[in-house]
Homo-oligomer: A and B are copies of this chain.
Amino acid sequence: MTAPALTKNQSLVFDVLSRSDAPLSAYTILDKLRDHGFRAPLQVYRALDKLLERGMVHRLESLNAFVACAHQEKECCGGHGHGTVAFAICESCGHVVEFHDHAVDHRLDDWARERKFKPAKTTIEIRGLCEQCAA
């Protein structure tokens, strides 16, 4: 039941994402890891796949970029085992806020149930300007 340890490559990728204060593209991650022996995009993508599976990393579809999950292990909704997560992305400074909203989740869930649509993964991304940048 308890997940196996991260491999070396997975740890390296996760570390880079954790330290970043903005989303990173796979190729940016690659560049940051060249000194650690990374040579090809696949090394990054394979690590990202595993981290995404675990919910430790999220993909921002509107940016083709990735962020470390901002949840603590045991937060509401089970931390990394969270349901749908939403993002507010500042187009000026690049800062991203990850959040849940149960009302939104349930509303979309109801919509799906009414139409007998079976959701697998839901993307919610608000792009705009954060408080700092909107001033």
Task: Name A's B-contacting residues (CB within 8 A).
Answer: 61-62, 86, 88, 90-91, 97, 99, 101, 103-104, 107-108, 111-112, 115-131, 134
Determine how many copies of this chain the complex contains: 2
Please tell me if the beta carbons of A112 and B88 are within 8 angstroms of each other in the complex.
yes
Please tell me if the beta carbons of A117 and B103 are within 8 angstroms of each other in the complex.
no
- Known contacts A123-B125, A128-B120; decide if A107 and B104 are in contact (CB<8 Å): yes
Please tell me if the beta carbons of A123 and B124 are within 8 angstroms of each other in the complex.
yes
Please tell me if the beta carbons of B125 and A99 are within 8 angstroms of each other in the complex.
no
Q: Which of A112, A117, A122 has the most CB of B within 10 A?
A: A117
Please tell me if the beta carbons of A107 and B103 are within 8 angstroms of each other in the complex.
yes
Please tell me if the beta carbons of B119 and A128 are within 8 angstroms of each other in the complex.
yes
User: How many angstroms from the CA of A121 to the CA of B87 in the assembled complex?
Assistant: 12
Nearest-CB residue, chain B, relative to A133: B118
Nearest-Cβ distance from residue A104 to partner chain B, whole angstroms: 5
Q: Which of A118, A120, A129 has the most CB of B within 10 A?
A: A118
Nearest-Cβ distance from residue A110 to partner chain B, whole angstroms: 9
Choose one: B101, B122, B125; the contact of A61 (CB below 8 Å): B125
Choose one: B61, B90, B131; the contact of A123 (CB below 8 Å): B61
User: How many angstroms from the CA of A116 to the CA of B115 in the assembled complex?
Assistant: 34
Residues of B within 8 A of A86 (CB): 108
Nearest-Cβ distance from residue A88 to partner chain B, whole angstroms: 5
